Amino acid sequence: MSNKVHLGHTARKRFGQNFLTDQGVISSIVGAIAPDNNHVMVEIGPGLGALTEPVADMIDNLTVVELDRDLVKRLQYHPILKDKLTIHQGDALQFDFGQLQQAGKKMKVFGNLPYNISTPLMFHLFEFAEQIETMHFMLQKEVVLRLSASPGTKAYGRLTVMAQYYCQVVPVLEVPPESFTPAPKVDSAVIRLLPFEVKPWPCKDVHVLRHLVTTAFNMRRKTLRNNLKTLLSDEDFVTLQVDSSLRPEQISVPQYVAMANMLCDKKD
């Protein structure tokens, strides 16, 4: 099948370009995003504008971050969009989303994300969680399952713990490959991430939590005691009332936060 999808644009695999073409799916996503002028609306990877057009139609201004220079040019000359868009050409992974916040206005961030960078992009966005009201992302279904997984399941891992530390995670919609051109090889799904206003399990230093969780999941088949032996002693696990003979996927988010806070206290 040809990858030439729209007015001569050829989808670029290296930019993860799978353009949404199913109007029903587009309407459902826009409904979930609930665009409004009380938030700074931000789209990652607008592409040919499948979500950009209906969202921009509902608001005064939409900020977009797009890596592909050809697509940026098309947006700059788009007859309807050009007056509504603030366009940043560049890599969303390196983009300082904090600069977009306006006095009294949090961001609503959304996008049909390039799947090859979705996990690092998620970690990058968590750093701006306090300035974000909602995030809606189209992702590989497998990533949505990881984000929303419960302890004790195969999908539960580093991404799950960090996402659920920052956000309430709500799967919204499953989307089949035929809804895109070109069709991706995997199933997709839309997730809603709602950063907590007040974190249910506050951590004293999120960098410590991140390091601890990465270390814990280094070897999934080993016990927590084994994976964390350079960080926590048997005595620490007793104090924390965490069973160190369990595997990393059996440990809840508040338990990881409690371990990280103990490490922070030890450092002080």
Look at phi and psi of residue 85 and say left if phi exceeds 0, alpha if psi is from -120 to 50, else beta: beta
Per CB under 6 A, which of residues 99..118 are in contact with ligand SAM? Answer: 112, 114, 117
Please, which residue, 20 or 263, has the CB nearer to ligand SAM?
20
Listed ranges 88-96, 145-153, 170-178, 234-242: which one lies at the site for ligand SAM (CB under 6 A): 88-96
Alpha-helix runs per DSSP H in 34-157: 52-56, 69-76, 118-126, 141-147
**How far does CA 191 lie from the centroid of its chain?**
8
Backbone angles phi, psi at 107, to 5 degrees: -95, 150
CA-based diameter of the chain, in Å? 66
Is 178 within any annotated ligand binding site?
no
| CA–CA dist 86, 54 (Å, integer) | 16
Residue 66 among known ligand-binding residues: yes
Tokens of 47: 């592409």
What type of residue sits at position 79?
P
182 binds ligand SAM (CB under 6 A): no
- Near ligand SAM by CB under 6 A: residue from 40, 92, 125, 212: 92
Q: Which of 71, 81, 129, 135 binds ligand SAM (CB under 6 A)?
A: 71
187 annotated to bind ligand: no
Nearer to ligand SAM by Cβ, of 50 and 172: the residue is 50
**Which CB contacts under 8 angstroms, 24+ apart, belong to 194-198?**
194/133, 194/134, 194/135, 194/167, 194/168, 194/169, 194/170, 195/129, 195/130, 195/132, 195/133, 195/135, 195/166, 195/167, 196/129, 196/166, 196/167, 196/168
Q: Cβ 108 to ligand SAM, closest distance in Å? A: 15
Instruction: List binders of ligand SAM among 47-66 (CB under 6 A).
Output: 47-48, 50-51, 65-66
Cβ atoms 249, 151 nearer than 8 A: yes
- Contacting ligand SAM within 2-21 (CB under 6 A): 15-20
- If the CB atoms of residues 128 and 237 are measured against ligand SAM, the closer one turns out to be 128
Q: Residue 184 CB, nearest distance to ligand SAM (Å)?
A: 8
| Residues at the site binding ligand SAM, with contacts judged by CB under 6 A | 15-20, 44-48, 50-51, 65-68, 71, 91-93, 112, 114, 117
Binding site, annotated residues for S-adenosyl-L-methionine: 18, 20, 45, 66, 91, 112
